Amino acid sequence: MIKKLLIVGLLTGLAFMFYGLLISYNGNETLTGLGSYYAQNGAREVGAANLVSAIVVTYRGLDTLGEVTILFLAAAIIGFVLKLKKDEVVEARPVRETSELLTSASQVIVPVIFLVGVYIFINGHLTPGGGFQGGAVIASGVLLMLLANPTMHISHNIVATIESISGIAFVAIGILGIVLAGGFLDNRLLPLGEFGTLLSAGAIPLIYIFIGLKVGAELSNIIGTISYNQNEKPN
């Protein structure tokens, strides 16, 4: 009873604070500060039609590198926590037969899902989208494959290879930026190209391709590890 009262009290206090924030919010009439700088100079300096991508990949590229690292760390810890002990016998768990509908549909849809994912991360500098979104779409395709065929084993070697190569390539592009352009992860090491076309914005499409592959591989790895761990013999 006291616990419930405490919870209600805490939530009411927080709601009161939010109310204070809400009535002091007037909405913005114009862009100010950093936002106006990016709006004025983003297109000229970076050449990406999608200003959010320009910020994520170039202006705050170091944050994105950290973000990818955090995702990698999460995947690594999941792999570590769910590691089966040596003496644990891995047996195929009894699975219900998947329906004809799911199996057939997945064969048709999965290639399309992969294509959409690739499209999203290649066009990340032009349309809403980017490496993370595209990678998540690709991982959803892997999840559908796993649902259609629960005993499928996602090869750890392939996933790890894709992941390491794209991670190294991301950092290598960043270092090339120091050598050939203005600094770490500067996208001007490639020509900026014509604004608004697929081959524009310097290295952003390249970086987004590697981020997309890396995120897709990492999320597939997480799904695969969890699925594989379910094969553990029930004790």
Partner 1 sequence: MEYIILISGFLLVLIGLWGILSQKNLIKIILGFTVFNTGINIVMVTVGYVKGKTAPILDVISPEEALTSIVDPVPQALVLTAIVIGLGVTALMLVYALKLYQDKKTLDINNFKDLKW
**What does the binding site for partner 1 look like in residue numbers (CB under 8 A)?**
4, 7, 10-11, 14-15, 18, 21-22, 25, 27-31, 34-36, 38-40, 42-44, 49-52, 54-56, 60, 63-64, 67, 70-71, 73-75, 77-78, 81-82, 126-128, 130, 132, 136, 195-196, 215, 222, 226, 229, 232
Q: Is 64 or 166 the residue whose CB approaches partner 1 more closely?
A: 64
137, 117 contact by CB (below 8 A): yes
Taking residue 19's Cβ as centre, other Cβ atoms within 10 Å add up to 10
Q: Shortest approach of partner 1 to residue 166 CB, angstroms? A: 15
Q: Shortest approach of partner 1 to residue 100 CB, angstroms? A: 30
Q: Is 81 or 179 the residue whose CB approaches partner 1 more closely?
A: 81
Burial of 124 (C-beta count, 10 Å sphere; 0-12/13-18/19+): buried
Q: Shortest approach of partner 1 to residue 80 CB, angstroms? A: 10
Q: Shortest approach of partner 1 to residue 167 CB, angstroms? A: 15
Backbone φ, ψ for residue 159 (5° rounding)? -60, -45
Element (H, E) at 154: none
Give CA–CA dist 106/109, Å, rounded: 5
